[in-house]
């Protein structure tokens, strides 16, 4: 039996992917670009074991056994990685060497997120990236990350970007077979370590439209999406890459907010419309703009972005984070003990956090621009930063026991 355990990170796009030109191969209608967030805060962890004794492939997701045969996207990832392993085994045989025939063994997969799925945080990207990366390690594949990203893409589009740390572009490609639709690293996490993120988990009981379903309604009905694909994204991709290379937070922040807004505009332009933002999400947008208006030199201090749900992700330089956390905690107070756990030790006590936010000397700050929201409107604040790509863990971290069953 061979067993490997790995983790993969969450990524949050600053130029959004929304729309497929091929739903089977998961080929997008535009390029996208994301920031990889620290696995110390959020990750998917996956253990995979392969053994000739196993009678069939089995999968446990967040503690519950699932029928692997019903998951076409995961099946694509197994098929592709097994084919690459089989090639390695054949090549070895031709050289007169023997590789364990892992490609013909069944596998047991156990995967869990270190964050509650109920929090509505994107888990498909980290989950599918962890699956493909762990399979690649299990099979000793020699392919580079971009080649693996082509496989992860077929599990979930945004997963291809979670195979790299730092700043990652998913190049849409133009070929029908998808061979040139893959992720590339724009800059590693070490390039801009001051860039941090605050995830505001916005409570929302309602079940929204899934990304997969929503984006095809947009492709089929939104004329604004066509303008976005042809005119807007190509220009923004070039500007965003330049901003990242130059660590230019002004351009990065403005583009991030505009692109999030346009993504939600194409959702509204979808017929019937799709709504992902709620009143709390919109109030966070307003407060970020109000906060930026306090900047004495007119420079942006923070940028928000929203995926297919109401949670806000605020990107900002490290130096502004303390102030931003106080600002959000003031207007959107928590109601639970785990509201904010302060992983980077910015505050000496919770008293610091709840003390009224007063942007010192900033006359421009309109304290009444929004009301203080009811406690719990934002249920958690997760402080994180840009960080590395998937990690291989030691055997002691395995989620499977010696029989290949969940521990």
Binding region for ligand DP6 (CB under 6 A): 13, 16-18, 26, 32, 122, 124, 156-158, 211-212, 307-308
Supply the minimum distance, in Å, between the C-beta of residue 1 and ligand DP6: 31
Shortest Å distance, C-beta 362 to ligand DP6: 33
- What three-state secondary structure class fits 203? coil
User: In terms of CB distance, is 252 or 340 closer to ligand DP6?
Assistant: 252
CA angle 239, 242, 243 (to 5 degrees): 85
Reported in sequence order, the residue ranges of 292-359 that DSSP labels E, i.e. its strands, are 303-305, 312-317
Residue number with CB closer to ligand DP6 (26 or 327): 26
Q: Which is nearer to ligand DP6, 14 or 84 (CB)?
A: 14
> Of 164 and 357, which has the nearer Cβ to ligand DP6?
164
Taking the complex as a whole, how short is the minimal distance between the CB of residue 158 and ligand DP6, in angstroms?
A: 3
CA 201 to chain CA centroid, nearest Å: 14
Q: How far is the CB of 31 from ligand DP6 (least distance, A)?
A: 10
CB 299 within 8 A of CB 253: no
Write the CB contacts of 250 (distance below 8 Å, at least 6 apart in sequence).
243, 299, 300
Rounded Cα distance between 48 and 110, Å, is 6
- Single out the residue of 314, 306, 281, 286 nearest to residue 381, CA to CA: 314
Give the Cα separation of 133 and 103 in Å (integer). Answer: 16
Considering the complex, state which of residue 44 and residue 158 has its C-beta at the smaller distance from ligand DP6: 158
What are the residues facing 43 on neighbouring strands?
Answer: 9
Q: Which residues pair with 3 in a beta bridge?
A: 49
DSSP string covering 216-258: HHHHHH-HHHHHIIIIIHHHHHHHHHHHHHTT-HHHHHHHHHH
Instruction: Name the minimum Å distance from CB 283 to ligand DP6.
Output: 21
DSSP H helix total and E strand total for the chain: 10, 16
- Residue among 74 and 102 whose Cβ is closer to ligand DP6: 74
Q: Give 106-128 as a DSSP string.
A: EEEEEEEESS-GGG----HHHHH
Which residue number, 26 or 77, has a Cβ lying nearer to ligand DP6? Answer: 26
Cα(4)–Cα(135) distance, integer angstroms: 8
The CB-of-32 to ligand DP6 minimum distance in angstroms stands at: 5
Smallest gap, in angstroms, from Cβ of residue 193 to ligand DP6? 23
Nearer to ligand DP6, 181 or 211 (CB): 211
Nearer to ligand DP6, 259 or 290 (CB): 259
Closest CB to ligand DP6 among residues 139, 164: 164
Give 50 or 163: the residue with its C-beta nearer to ligand DP6.
Answer: 163
Helix/strand/coil percent split, the chain, to 5: 40, 20, 40
Tell the smallest beta-carbon distance from residue 232 to ligand DP6 (Å): 14
Angle CA 342–343–347, to nearest 5: 35
Smallest separation (angstroms) from ligand DP6 to the CB of 12? 7
Contacts of 355 (CB under 8 A, 6+ apart): 326
CB of 181 to ligand DP6, least distance (A): 11
Backbone φ and ψ for 251, nearest 5 degrees, come out as -70, -40
Using Cβ positions, the residue closest to ligand DP6 within the complex turns out to be 157
- Report the nearest approach of ligand DP6 to the CB of residue 223 (Å): 20
Residue linked to tokens 């056994």: 65
């Amino acid at each position: 039996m061979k067993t490997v355990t790995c983790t993969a990170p969450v990524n949050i796009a600053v130029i959004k992917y929304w729309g497929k030109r091929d739903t089977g191969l998961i080929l997008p209608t535009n390029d996208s670009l994301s920031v990889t967030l620290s696995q110390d805060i959020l990750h998917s962890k996956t253990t995979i074991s392969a053994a000739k004794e196993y009678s069939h492939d089995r999968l446990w997701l967040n503690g519950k056994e699932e029928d692997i045969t019903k998951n076409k996207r995961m099946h694509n990832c197994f098929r592709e990685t097994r084919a690459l392993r089989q090639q390695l085994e054949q090549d070895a045989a031709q050289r007169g060497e023997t590789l364990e025939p892992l490609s013909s063994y069944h596998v047991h997969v156990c995967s869990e997120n270190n964050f509650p799925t109920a929090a509505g945080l994107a888990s498909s990207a980290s989950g599918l990236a962890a699956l493909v990366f762990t399979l690649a390690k299990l099979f000793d594949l020699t392919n580079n990350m971009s080649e693996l990203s082509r496989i992860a893409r077929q599990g979930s589009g945004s997963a291809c970007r979670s195979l790299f740390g730092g700043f990652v572009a998913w190049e849409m490609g133009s070929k029908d077979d998808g061979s040139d639709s893959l992720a590339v690293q724009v800059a590693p996490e070490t390039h801009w370590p001051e860039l941090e993120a605050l995830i505001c988990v916005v409570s929302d009981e309602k079940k929204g439209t899934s990304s997969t379903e929503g984006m095809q309604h947009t492709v089929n009905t939104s004329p604004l999406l066509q303008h976005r694909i042809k005119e807007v994204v190509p220009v923004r991709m070039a500007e965003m890459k330049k901003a990242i290379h130059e660590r230019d937070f002004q351009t990065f922040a403005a583009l991030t907010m505009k692109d999030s807004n346009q993504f939600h505009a194409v959702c509204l332009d979808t017929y019937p419309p799709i709504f992902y933002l709620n009143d709390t999400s919109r109030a966070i947008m307003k407060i970020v703009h109000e906060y930026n208006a306090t900047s004495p030199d007119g420079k942006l201090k923070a940028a928000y972005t929203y995926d297919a749900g109401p949670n806000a992700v605020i990107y900002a330089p490290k130096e502004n984070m303390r102030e931003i956390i106080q600002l959000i905690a003031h207007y959107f107070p928590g109601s639970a003990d785990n509201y904010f756990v302060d992983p980077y030790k910015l505050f000496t006590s919770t008293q610091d956090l709840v003390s009224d936010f007063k942007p010192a000397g900033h006359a421009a700050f309109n304290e009444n621009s929004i009301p203080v929201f009811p406690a719990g409107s934002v249920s958690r604040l997760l402080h994180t930063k840009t960080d590395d790509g998937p990690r291989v863990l030691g055997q002691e971290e395995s989620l499977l026991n010696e029989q290949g069953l969940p521990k």
